[in-house]
């Protein structure tokens, strides 16, 4: 499968694994909004991708250059399709789960156990220091 732009190898592998075909994607270039001056006002730098089988639409206008927006749009489209198809197994879902687990607080019992262990360790170290 040949993509209209060069993509990183990991994204190409993900696209192949998910069965994403370029024929299933409509690509449009439109004018961007917001800051960017004359470049944004005169050129079609924004990219809109529509994956017909899933109905996912991605619009990217973060950069002043069309090529950069195009790469970011294809990347985002592949990640969104992966998330929709694979659900909990997707890389995005795994990353969100990892962050959620990092922010999760310990239970009261686990905190007490950890504090007791820290006290024991501290006492053991104090006993070692007395001999010097």
Looking at the structure, do residues 61 and 112 belong to the same domain, yes or no?
Answer: no
Looking at the structure, do residues 58 and 113 belong to the same domain, yes or no?
Answer: no
Kindly state the tokens that stand for 85. Answer: 């198809």
Looking at the structure, do residues 50 and 20 belong to the same domain, yes or no?
Answer: yes
Q: What is the CATH number of the domain that holds 51?
A: 3.30.160.20
3-state class of 6 per DSSP? coil
Q: Which domain holds residue 121?
A: 96-130
Asked if residue 7 lies in contact with residue 75, where contact means CB atoms within 8 angstroms, the answer is yes
Tell me the per-residue pLDDT of 28-68, one tens digit each, with 9 for 90 and over. 999 888 776 777 777 888 999 999 999 999 999 988 888 89
Strand order through the sheet with 56-60: 25-30, 46-51, 56-60
- Residue 33's nearest CA partner among 43, 19, 23 is 43
Q: What pLDDT does 29 receive?
A: 92
The CA distance from 124 to 83, in Å, is: 50
Give the predicted TM-score (pTM) of the model: 0.63
Q: What total number of domains does the chain contain?
A: 2
Looking at the structure, do residues 23 and 81 belong to the same domain, yes or no?
Answer: yes
């Amino acid at each position: 499968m040949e993509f209209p732009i060069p993509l990183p190898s990991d994204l190409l592998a993900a696209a192949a694994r998910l069965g994403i075909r370029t024929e299933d994607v409509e690509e449009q270039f439109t004018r961007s909004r917001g800051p960017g001056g004359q470049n944004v006002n005169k050129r079609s730098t924004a990219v809109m991708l529509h994956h017909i089988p899933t109905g996912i639409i991605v619009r990217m206008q973060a950069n002043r250059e069309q090529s950069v927006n195009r790469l970011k749009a294809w990347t985002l489209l592949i990640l969104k399709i992966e998330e929709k198809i694979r659900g909990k197994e997707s890389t995005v879902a795994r990353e969100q789960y990892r962050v959620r687990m990092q922010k999760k607080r310990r239970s009261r019992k686990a905190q007490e156990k950890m504090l007791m262990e820290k006290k024991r360790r501290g006492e053991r170290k104090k006993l070692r220091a007395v001999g010097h």
